[in-house]
Structure 1
């Protein structure tokens, strides 16, 4: 098959591409690379003119203040439009999000319409914020979600503009149009599968693909090390919605309590390639709270044998019928995180055991070739 993957936010599409290529398919990724993360794409729509040129940035700010028009979004749409002539005759097109082009909704619809006219089947992947997921999270029926901080304090609205945009009329219409023209909807983890099901959508749940050939298990022997290394990578754009403040508070306590036993490494807003190199030495990685399941960064860290504090709720345990932990369920509670970290620091053999189980879990449930085959099977069955 000839396959086009549109958008890349987490390396999901790159790993899927790697699995599909092993299975003998031709795959192309188009996207922006997700700003500072700089994920690999075959064709870029990154708005480099308004991102890199200081004069253009000034014009962008003035234009936005006067008209409300974001020229970066305009540039991305134009860049995609210019690539449309070569984006044809694909057997399958997958959009990573209803806003995969990250342009104005009215423009995205026109571009999607042209894209669909010159290709065959299309699938919509639900692997992050999107209209039905945000609608359900706003109901506040789950124990917690990425919108929990906003629901507890509406003054944080400005910090949730990206998530809440999907509930505005223009993005709602865009989602409805994309969903109506998609042959199948696919969810990547339980944080999206649960809301989509409860909102009445028919979806196919396919776990995130992880390249277990490329990512090696490299968890160090914690018993022989002088200090246990704890890593926290901060993305300021998702700081509140990932509950990073709970990790920071917990680390202050851990630093005072176990200063001679731990080394704490904190980074902020670094490109993906640099990020994964920085946490290679770590034994424990702090990913996010407010999750029921693991996101992409957590899964890659688990593949390396890191003990990851992330989403690992009861629903996740039951879905995969786990009897022993493969990750630590990080709750939005500083004292609970301190307690879990303290136990691991005082019982380093448990770090080793969870590390082994995490790797086996990824190999069994997230192997990129097996997952790629699941995508192919789902695409072929869709009508």
Structure 2
């Protein structure tokens, strides 16, 4: 089949592409590369007007004329390559705002996609109308909006998520759902809000290419290395403030037993190797399931603090803390759990093996690609 994947978050579409190509399909990715992470794409789109004088001019024009220069620019880029975006058997959107334009422009671009390709599917991956409203109405125990409710930072920093609650995005959401052939969730955080929706086809666990992620069995001989990767734009949304507070206490109490590595805003190709020497990786707090960073770290055999809620344990029939550590929004809990691992290094070695095996069996990129193909081709 000829397949077009629109958008890229956290390397999901790249891993899916690699699985699909192993199965003999022709795959093209169009997208921005997810900002500083710079994931590879086949057709590159650019977000201009993001800094300096162009950004200032863009803001003034938007305030005065309610006209978005970024959307206009992306629209021009899209139609410059429109002939490369037609006649596909399957198209998949990374989410409801795959082109990162205002709803009016997004609808125009999607209309072209719907009219010039056979089947189009939507991936619920990242914020969208249903998941954000689910979080806004506090139907999760906690979510990326928990720091918003706790007023940890300016409300304007939640614009990207909360824009999906607007009337314009609601209309865009309904337009997309009325035209796609089906909706697929990438993990439990998106599966839970979609249950029982008539367009929902089910969850396909994130595809991880373990062929390119080297596994080294963890053996604790000297200091335990704890790695904390920070995305500065999502500092509170990922719970980095809680991790940092816990690490400060661990550092003071176990100076002779731990080494702490902290990095900020690294491109993917640098980031993926920056935690190679780590035993423990602190990923994110406000999640029920693992995202890509966590799964790739687990594939390398790291003990990861991430989303591993009861719903996830039940879905995969797992015991608590056997494969990953459920990172709760509680400093005391994070400190106590880190202490438990520091004082019991053999447990680190056991979880490491379990984590690698879990990703191999439940997140294999070829098996995942096969599941997507079944969903895309069923009547």
TM-score by length of 2: 0.96
Query: Partners of 1:281 and 1:239 in 2: how far apart?
Result: 23
Q: Report Cα offsets for 1:142-189 as digits up to 9, x if no partner.
A: 211111122233974222111101011111111111111010100011
CA contact (8 A) 1:186 1:206 kept: yes
Query: Partners of 1:114 and 1:357 in 2: how far apart?
Result: 45
Q: Report Cα offsets for 1:49-94 as digits up to 9, x if no partner.
A: 4347x54344324334433444233322221221112211100000
Change (3 A) 1:154 1:331: closer
Residue aligned with 1:280, SS? coil
Change (3 A) 1:24 1:252: same
Query: Partners of 2:68 and 2:230 in 1: how far apart?
Result: 26
Change (3 A) 1:195 1:355: same
Q: Which blocks of at least 5 consecutive residues in structure 2 are unaligned?
A: none
CA contact (8 A) 1:302 1:359 kept: yes
Q: Give, in angstroms, the shift of residue 196 of structure 1.
A: 1.6
| Number of the residue aligned with 2:49 | 50
Query: Partners of 1:133 and 1:275 in 2: how far apart?
Result: 28
| Number of the residue aligned with 1:319 | 315
Q: Give, in angstroms, the shift of residue 135 of structure 1.
A: 1.0
Residue aligned with 1:267, SS? strand
Residue aligned with 1:124, SS? strand
Residue aligned with 1:36, SS? helix
213-222 or 115-124, which moves further after superposition?
213-222
What is the 5 A alignment of 1:82-97?
82-97=80-95
Change (3 A) 1:68 1:36: farther
Q: Which blocks of at least 5 consecutive residues in structure 1 are unaligned?
A: none
Query: Partners of 2:84 and 2:18 in 1: how far apart?
Result: 21
What is the 5 A alignment of 1:64-213?
64-153=62-151, 156-197=154-195, 202-213=200-211
| Number of the residue aligned with 2:250 | 254
Residue aligned with 1:213, SS? helix
Residue aligned with 1:203, SS? strand
1:285 aligns with 2:278: no
Query: Partners of 1:119 and 1:200 in 2: how far apart?
Result: 22
1:243 aligns with 2:242: no
CA contact (8 A) 1:149 1:156 kept: no
| Number of the residue aligned with 2:23 | 23
Change (3 A) 1:260 1:155: closer
The RMSD of aligned alpha carbons is: 1.7
117-126 or 231-240, which moves further after superposition?
231-240
CA contact (8 A) 2:135 2:145 kept: yes
Query: Partners of 2:241 and 2:66 in 1: how far apart?
Result: 32
Query: Partners of 1:148 and 1:101 in 2: how far apart?
Result: 27
Residue aligned with 2:195, SS? helix
CA contact (8 A) 2:49 2:58 kept: yes
| Number of the residue aligned with 2:32 | 32
CA contact (8 A) 1:197 1:203 kept: no
**4+ residue segments displaced more than 4 Å:** 198-201
Q: Give, in angstroms, the shift of residue 206 of structure 1.
A: 0.6
